[in-house]
Amino acid sequence: MGSYADAFARSIDHPDDFWLEAAAGVDWITPPTRALDDSNPPIYRWFPDGSLNTSANALDRHVASGRGDQVALIWDSAMTSTVRTYTYAQLLDEVAAFAGVLAAQGVTKGDRVVIYLPMIPEAAIAMLACARIGAVHSVVFGGFAAPELATRIDDAEPVAVITASGGLEPGRVVEYLPLVKAAIDQATSAPSTVIVKDRAEVPGSASDYVGWLDWDAERAAASPAAPVEVAATDPLYILYTSGTTGKPKGVVRDNGGHAVALTWSMWNVYDISPGDVWWTASDVGWVVGHSYIVYGPLLVGATTVMYEGKPVGTPDAGAFWRVIDQHQVAALFTAPTAIRAIRKADPDATELAKYNTSTLRTLFAAGERLDPDTYTWASEVLGVPVVDHWWQTETGWAIAANLRGLEPMPIKAGSPTVPVPGYAVEIVDATGGAVAAGGEGNIVIRLPLPPGTLAGLWRDEDRFRASYLNTFEGYYLTGDSGYIDADGYVVVLGRSDDVINVAGHRLSTGSIEAVVAAHPAVAECAVIGIHDDLKGQRPSGYVVLKAGVDIDDDTLRSELVQRVRDEIGAVATFRDVTVVASLPKTRSGKILRKTMRQIVDGEEYAVPSTIEDASVLDALVEQLTQY
Ligand code: COA
Ligand code: AMP
């Protein structure tokens, strides 16, 4: 494809040519004759006349082309000290059989299936089985509590829920079945089928619940299902992500654009070829897991590593290096928090010296900004390029990256490098005016977004338009702020809304606030994301008590922490609660969250001219800076 500059220019000036060429990397049932459907701006669709099956692209075609005996998936569970491998032929058998299980339950094209599974191979099998029969999966991260699962069930209205007896966290077993039962009871939309993968390590099984089915028993009796033809524009999955309100956004991904974009990205962003061993240390519940544990590596015939464990403590800070050595990993993709956790536990990288990591060509990081300090440490200890890249659940693949397979560029610490072909990234001010190179502003992407990015929000076009398309006409609003330097390098400084990023996990402070505010002692509250040395950010709550309430701080804190765990989940990592006399507000009643964050983080701040009562801010500064 030539140089980066060439590819980028072609992708923007001639998107049809560029993406039809990229579409040749996918096996179509009906090859598309057009790439971009721009008949309904600002909503665009890709490959409107193409049809395919994503699961067949990830599995069947590799078996057909002679890769059947190559390992497709290596499951490495540090939690159970188990390694299990599946060749492409074996994975195809499992997926076809489980697709048969779903079909036997009446699951059909267009039906939704909620998948609530830990990091076990069945998660990938269930996703690919849905894709095989044209069902739309919605994977929910295991760290979310029952009410979050119920919200997603109500929005997606699944006919089936696929789950397991539970997940394994260091020092504790997470029993899923009581959570799933509670979620189904809370939800107004009732799935007709629940299928449970029984894990020996976790109590509970399908037989404890009336009508629930056992994965293994159903699989043993199943007849394999063939891949069905779906339109390129048909939905492949819905993935819920935090917005600024408590209600999560159901990001919809289509089949055709997704397969084309991920295939292109494996080659051009990650430089991964068939047979390479690729490892994304994330969770299938996040977009990174969808795109780069399951679909991306399998679409290009690579071997994907699925890891159940943590970067540290399972059993030590050498866990990642052990996996690279044992499975000959060529490239690792993880979150900066994981690297910081390893560095904190093993600053001199003594664990690394115990392993042979010479197969590793590149370390990719995303999910949050790769801070220069962590970048430098990782580069020095590993001696391979450490590549930051920036993206979001909505885009499904990188917006800005150092394109290792297309044209590797010099790395600037703190920058995810340049806009990826297909993404016309620009910086605008609050009124939509262009900002000159180096100037900070809202990061926006000129429409259309490339293939593989969100097709919309599930059954909510109004919210799709309001959240992303209406703010600046002709542009997609990323919600991030930053700048582009004189060399065209993008720098992402952080979110400009109330979304926070904790250990690479995206959370809404609004939803935590809603839980805190519901406590009977709380009159009002603000939850803000403050700096955390390990996790990048952490949520911190400031509460004003109702008049006359008598509750000691420790009791209040533990009750609020428990409520957030029960309502949102352990993943919210809500631990800080400070009781304050009042919250600083504007005259129109808006809490000055940004100013509060700046105070807590020790940053310079300006007192907003719209402040209602400056003495409230003064009192807060005095209280928060006395520690
Ligand atoms: N199911 C149930 N609970 C889960 C869970 C899951 N899948 N994942 C996390 N949790 C729980 C944890 O057990 C913990 O609970 P606790 O409060 O009882 O201890 C809580 O959620 C917070 O988890 P986590 O953010 O993982 O923090 P930690 O202190 O346990 O571990 C790190 C710290 C750095 C090891 C961890 O945050 C990490 O691995 N980060 C990398 C993140 C990552 O890969 N992100 C992917 C985005 S691309
Ligand atoms: P998620 O949708 O969970 O992937 O979170 C997306 C958000 O994470 C983005 O909008 C950014 O705020 C942040 N993010 C992800 N990757 C990066 C990165 N490489 N640099 C800076 N921020 C990032």
| DSSP assignment of 92-120 | HHHHHHHHHHHHHTT--TT-EEEEE--SS
Helices assigned H by DSSP within 277-368: 287-289, 296-299, 319-327, 336-345
Q: What pTM, to 2 d.p., does this model score?
A: 0.96
Contacts of 524 (CB under 8 A, 6+ apart): 517, 543, 544, 583
Residue 171: phi and psi, rounded to 5, are 80, 0
Ligand 1, atom 38, residue with closest C-alpha: 338
Cα 349 to ligand 1 centroid, rounded to whole Å: 22
Per-residue pLDDT of 348-405, as tens digits, reads: 999 999 999 999 999 999 999 999 999 999 999 999 999 999 999 999 999 999 999 9
* pLDDT at residue 624 is higher than 90: no
327 lines ligand 2 (CB under 6 A): no
Query: Rounded to the nearest whole angstrom, what is the distance from the C-alpha of residue 390 to the centroid of ligand 2?
Result: 6
Higher pLDDT, 276 or 242: 276
pLDDT over threshold 60, residue 256: yes
> How many angstroms separate the CA atoms of 36 and 232, rounded?
12
Max Cα distance, the chain (Å): 74
Nearest atom (ligand 2) to Cα of 505:
3
3-state secondary structure of 189: coil
Contact 246, 510 (CB under 8 A): yes
- CA 104, CA 97: separation in Å to the nearest integer? 10
Structure tokens at 525: 């509250």
* Cα 391 to ligand 2 centre (Å): 5
**Which atom, in ligand 1's list, is nearest to the CA of 171?**
13
What is the β-pairing status of strands 362-365 and 386-388?
A: parallel
Q: Residue 1 pLDDT > 60, yes or no? A: no
Ligand 1 close to Cβ of residue 367 (< 6 A): yes
Q: What is the DSSP string of 56-104?
A: IIIIIHHIIIIITTSEEEEEEETTTTEEEEEEHHHHHHHHHHHHHHHHH
- In the chain, the domains with their CATH numbers are 4-309+389-446 (3.40.50.12780), 500-626 (3.30.300.30)
Cα–Cα separations (whole angstroms), residue 39 to 215, 252, 291? 44, 20, 28
Q: What does the pLDDT look like over 446-473, one tens digit per residue?
A: 999 999 999 999 999 999 999 999 999 9
Query: pLDDT tens across 549-585, in order?
Result: 999 999 999 999 999 999 999 999 999 999 999 999 9
Distance CA 363, CA 371 (A): 14
